[in-house]
Amino acid sequence: MEDKKMEKKTIIAVILGVLVIISAIQAFQLNGLKEKISEGQLKVSSSGGKVSTASSGEDKKTTALPSSVKNLPQMVGGC
Model pLDDT for residues 12-68, shown as the tens digit of each residue: 999 999 999 999 999 999 999 998 888 887 776 665 555 555 555 555 566 677 776
By residue count, the chain amounts to 79
Computed over every residue of the chain, the mean pLDDT equals 77
| pLDDT at res. 4 | 80
Which residues are CB-contacts of 48 (< 8 A; sequence separation ≥ 6)? 64, 65, 66, 67, 69, 70
Give just the sign of the alpha carbon dihedral 76, 60, 42, 64: positive
With pLDDT > 90 as the criterion, what percentage of the chain qualifies? Answer: 33
Distances (CA, A) of 42 to 5, 11, 24, 39: 49, 40, 22, 8
50 SS3 class: strand
